[in-house]
Structure 1
Amino acid sequence: MASEIHLPEPICLVENSRRKGLVVQQEALQVLSEITQPVVVVAIAGLYRTGKSYLMNRLAGRRKGFSLGSGVQSHTKGVWMWCVPHPCKPGHTLVLLDTEGLGDVEKGDTKNDTWIFVLTVLLSSTLIYNSRGTIDQQAMEQLHYVMKLTEKVRLKATPGQREEEQEDPEEVAPFFPAFVWTVRDFTLQLEVDGEGISEDQYLEKALTLKAGSSSEIQRYNQPREYIHQFFRDRKCFVFDQPAPKRDLARLEELQVDEIDPEFQQQVEKFCSHIWEKSPPKTIPGGRIVTGSLLGKLAETYVETIRSGEVPCLESAVLALAQTVNVAAVKEAVKLYQDLMEKQVKLPTETVEELLDLHSQCQRETQELFQKRAFEEDICSFQADLTHQVEEIKEKFLRDNKQVSRDNCEAALRDLFQDLFRKFINGVYFVPGGYKLFERDQQALVKKYQEVPG
């Protein structure tokens, strides 16, 4: 049965250290390695002190967990993770990723802001971008700032590819997450020309491109073009201020009747959408990601970033394939060994009987391997599996031959006892004794041939 993990509180997945840079935490990897269920990965990004952590706590079904940070500093450093059973998808784990706030002037070095954003895009199946007030040009430019590097994420590793030679967005976009823009403390009326509009219509109106080619219009259009190109599945939610300003610092401690009812309804609507609509995380090739694979992805991407390279989706999948296919071969070989030991009773009547059992077990072994393995570089692993199975089969054939020989010799020794006693007692040392010996010998051979096995 697939394992289910429910962390009592969030833990750090990727630490953002001034001295070491981005570092994947072994404790988080250990937790993920134990999750064999498919994962739905929901990440949130945005400016610091915009209430990201509150929404993530609500998605976890808790009032407390991720640090809210009511002061002027960002509390979340790096990427923090919370794994809980999915509230709407049995057999799935909901992995929530809360990221370090963008634009925190207190931390000084902001060079990892974009890399953390890249990580959230690559690891998540749904990305939430959180802003405050309205969707305006400033919010767009903040998003554009961190998307500049994200656009360089490559689908395939092309030898000698220059940095300016970007992938076609049409090819890369399908592997980007669903995009949800949340606007906190929304200050506008949802209407155009006196007519009410939906939150999604508000977002699409904000993403409308302007005609023209001036530098000002290009600056206006560029972040909107990025969103159109890379985030095909878009959704928007707006939220009223949850409580009077004096109470915002203790939002997680407020009782239900102290929180604005309209805000509560908005949060419930938001959570329901994320729970019901966020898909499981997949990678190129349509492979659904488990917790253990998510940990491997995080390691691969962070290692690439630390080396100064831009993450490549194909390289990440190949790295996963190496890990997964090695494990698939090991699991398949063990299955073959177990099936043979369970079904084969040595010695068999004939070699053909043993080979028939081998064929049955081999079929089940291949089915398991095909189910577990990645298609990438599968041939070499298939060859390794065939080689290991063949070695085990040959050992069974050798053991079968030896056990059969041992049984035959034991049967002969047992059957020869009576003839040997007659020989010792001189029964055959009389006239006509040789004929008597031949008769007893033929009878012994007949009995020997009637012994089973």
Structure 2
Amino acid sequence: MACGRLMSAPVCLIENDEKGMLHVRKEAKDILDGITEPVVVVSVVGLYRTGKSYLMNRLAGQQSGFALGSTIESKTKGIWMWCVPHPYEEGQTLVLLDTEGLGDVRKGDEKHDTWIFCLAVLLSSTLVYNSLGVIDNTALEKLHYVTELTENIRVKAEESQDEDKSADFMRVFPSFVWAVRDFTLELKIGNEPITSDEYLESALTLKSGCSPQTEQYNLPRRCLRHFFVVRKCFVFPRPASTQNMRRMEELTEKDLDSEFLEQANIFCHYIYECADPKTVSGGRVITGTALGNLAEVYVEAIRSGKIPCLENAVVSLAKIQNVRAVDEALQFYMIEMLKMALLPMRPEELSDIHTDVEKKAIEVFITMSFNDNDQIYQRELIGKIHDEYQQLCQQNQEESIKHCKAVLHEVFDTLEKGVFDGSYLKSGGYRQYRDMLGHLTNDYRARTRSQIMEKDALLQKNLQEQASHMQRQIDSLRSEMNKEEKSKPSTVSRIMDGIGATTELILPGFVSRGLSTVSKWFK
């Protein structure tokens, strides 16, 4: 199971809380959240104590798992779930749902049974109805839950009173399998042998006429025929003696009836081969994550006294899935940018990384999204990614300035000290200063080559500050010398004038004209 954990045993998916209200168990929801591949969902329903759980254990490839029990008490409560890798289809997960037995008189809550049946129909892609003995009128009357589906499930949010819902149900309902247990009859009509499928279809034949009795007889048959377009039937002989039936979990295959084993294997092969992945309206295949969200949407509708609606459920599912897809894709973008964008760096390089990671983040979103046909949520994601990128650009600029300032201070520290203590105010000082300045400038630019365009502006500002300080020194010295020499400038005075000109012509922009001018003074 992609991103999911292997389940060694079933867990409860839906149960009654202390107030008698249905709710989805967090443990099961977390397991489904981890399944990011398509799911084939097989539910089994039927009267209590009819051996439903044993069939599900066989589908899981296990002798035990779903509780069997050996008394008249209903063993399974709520809906239990077992997720296993699909035996035939790589990249799919088989989700087995074992439901609470219907018709347990000890519960005394007929509506609870109805909701369990409805949830099994809504969540599964294949529904297995398990019964004992034969398919006769009594067996069909016990399947009255199918006649109540139109009252308890809506396909569309808006439905007219006289609208025929059969076509809608047929389009979205699961395939139907009737498993007849402890079957002792011969599959014949008259003297002609028939298949188990023909046996089912014969039992679903409608009577002609319109009397109340005929309508009552036809109702469950008509519902099965109209709601479930794909129908299949399997008949199983009794698996073991009455004594051994009490310890079914302990029995090995050699203890079981060979014909039962043969039918059980055929049944399992059919499910593995023919059960389709779960879909919703529009034929969209859903993942385990979406299945968990669907379960919560349907259960919440039941808890709030509403009729579960497939159309509304798809809208709710789309919102849940797409909000999560946006969050996951944005998180992916932020983590990848944090790993790949080692600030500070050239803006062009940051842009290239952003473009690549944004593309991958959108792919993450598309994989997780659901029915975002108008790309509303995808545009929301792109907007959020843009905001994150702008923040990164701002951060990159700040980090780049910080880095350039640190390099500037480190490179020009010695030169600045010389300027501030007047070391270059001497004969030949300009040439020494000029050489040092050129060397340090090249060093600075080499070490900040990958940084922002403002790196030269920082250099310019630093040199202007040096020029201003040197000019103040020169002005101060010139003032002192003017007091001593009123008439004729001395060599020292000419040196001061030369360096003063240098501060004005050289430092701000390293203008070649300035270099050629002042260099003549020191030859």
Scaled by the length of structure 1, the TM-score of the pair is 0.87
Q: Which runs of 4+ in 1 moved over 4 A?
A: 16-19, 164-167, 376-380, 424-428, 430-451
Q: Distance in 2 between matches of 1:211 and 1:386?
A: 62
**What is the match of residue 419 of structure 2?**
423
Match of 1:390 in 2: 386
| Counterpart residue number, 2:371 | 375
- AA aligned opposite 1:141: E
Partner of 2:236: 239
Counterpart in 1 of 2:454?
none
Q: Per the alignment, do residues 82 and 166 of structure 1 end up closer, same or farther by CA in structure 2, a change over 3 Å counting?
A: farther
Q: Which amino acid aligns with 1:175?
A: V
Q: Deviations over 1:320-371 (max 9, x none)?
A: 223322221222112222332333343334x344333322222222222122
| CA offset digits 1:62-92 (Å, max 9, x no partner) | 2233333443332222222233333333343
Supply the distance in 2 between the matched residues of 1:253 and 1:416 (Cα, whole angstroms).
86
Q: Which residue of 2 aligns with 1:319?
A: 316
Distance 1:87 1:390 in 2: 44
Secondary structure at 1:63's aligned position in 2? coil
CA contact (8 A) 1:79 1:100 kept: yes
Contact 1:318–1:376 (CA under 8 A) maintained in structure 2:
no
2:104 maps to which residue?
104
SS at match of 1:189: coil
CA drift of 1:434 comes to 6.7
Structure 1 residue 231: Cα displacement: 0.9
State the match for 1:127 in structure 2: 127
Q: CA deviation at 1:448?
A: 4.7
Structure 1 pair 107/17, CA: closer, same or farther in 2 (3 Å)?
A: farther
Could you tell me which residue of structure 1 aligns to residue 459 of structure 2? none
Structure 1 pair 82/213, CA: closer, same or farther in 2 (3 Å)?
Answer: same
What is the letter of the counterpart of residue 361 of structure 1? V
Matched, 1:79 2:79: yes
The reply to whether residue 185 of structure 1 matches residue 182 of structure 2 is yes
**Distance change (3 Å), C-alpha of 1:9 and 1:443:** closer
Partner of 1:137 in structure 2? 137
Displacement after TM superposition at 1:228 (Å)? 1.9
Between the aligned partners of 1:8 and 1:418, the Cα distance in structure 2 is: 71
What does the per-residue CA deviation read over 1:136-177, in whole Å, with 9 as the maximum and x for residues that have no partner?
A: 12222222344413564222323xx57x46673323322211
Structure showing greater Rg? 2
Deviations 1:87-121 (A, max 9, x none): 33334332222222222223222221111100000
In structure 1, distance between residues paired with 2:185 and 2:57: 26
Report which structure shows greater RCO (CA 8 Å, sep ≥6): 1
Partner Cα separation in structure 2 for residue 423 and residue 251 of structure 1: 97
Question: Conserved in 2, the CA contact under 8 Å of 1:321 and 1:377?
Answer: no
Q: Which residue of 1 aligns with 2:497?
A: none
Matches within 5 A, 1:20-31: 20-31=20-31
Query: Which residue number in structure 1 is paired with residue 226 of structure 2?
Result: 229
Distance 1:436-1:62 versus aligned 2 partners, 3 A rule? closer
Give the match for residue 95 of structure 2.
Answer: 95
Name the residue aligned to 1:278: 275
- Secondary structure, in 3 states, of the residue corresponding to 2:246? helix
Instruction: Give CA deviations for 1:21-51 in whole Å, capped at 9, x if unaligned.
Output: 3233333333333444433221111122222
2:456 maps to what in 1? none
Instruction: Name the stretch that deviates more: 297-306 or 78-87.
Output: 78-87
Shift in CA distance, 226/449, structure 1 to aligned 2, threshold 3 Å: same
Query: TM-score with structure 2 length normalisation?
Result: 0.77
Deviation at 1:295, TM superposition (A): 2.4
Matched ranges for 1:282-321 at <5 A: 282-321=279-318
Distance 1:434-1:139 versus aligned 2 partners, 3 A rule: same
Asked if structure 1 preserves the Cα contact closer than 8 Å seen for 2:48 and 2:102, the reply is yes
Residue in 2 aligned with 1:63? 63
Question: Amino acid of the residue matched to residue 396 of structure 2?
Answer: N
Deviation, structure 1 residue 309: 1.1
| Alpha-carbon distance in 2 for matches of 1:196, 1:106 | 41
Residue 10 of structure 1 and its aligned partner are, at CA, apart by 3.0
Which runs of 5 or more residues in structure 2 are unaligned? 451-523
Correspondence for 2:486: none
Equivalent residues of 1:16, 1:112 under 8 A apart: no
Number of the residue aligned with 2:41: 41
8 Å Cα contact 2:10/2:66 also seen in 1: yes
Letter in 1 for 2:315: L
Counterpart of 1:261? 258
Q: Quote the residue 1:117 is aligned against.
A: 117
Equivalent position SS for 2:143: helix
Please say which of residues 23-32 and 92-101 is displaced more in the overlay.
Answer: 23-32
In 2: Cα distance, 1:438 partner to 1:63 partner: 91
Cα distance in structure 1, aligned partners of 2:407 and 2:103:
86
> Matches of 1:431 and 1:366 in 2, distance apart?
67
1:384 and 1:310 map into 2 onto residues whose CA distance is 32
CA distance in structure 1 between the aligned counterparts of 2:217 and 2:52, rounded to whole angstroms? 26
Q: Is the 8 A contact 1:118 1:150 kept in 2?
A: no
Alpha-carbon RMSD? 3.0
More deviation, 372-381/90-99:
372-381
Q: Cα–Cα, structure 1 residues 256 and 375, in superposed 2: closer, same or farther, change >3 Å?
A: closer
- Aligned counterparts of 1:449 and 1:434: Cα–Cα separation in 2: 22
Q: Residues 123 and 295 of structure 2 are in contact (CA less than 8 Å); yes or no, is this contact kept in structure 1?
A: yes
Deviations 1:232-284 (A, max 9, x none): 11111011122344543334434544432211211111112112222222223
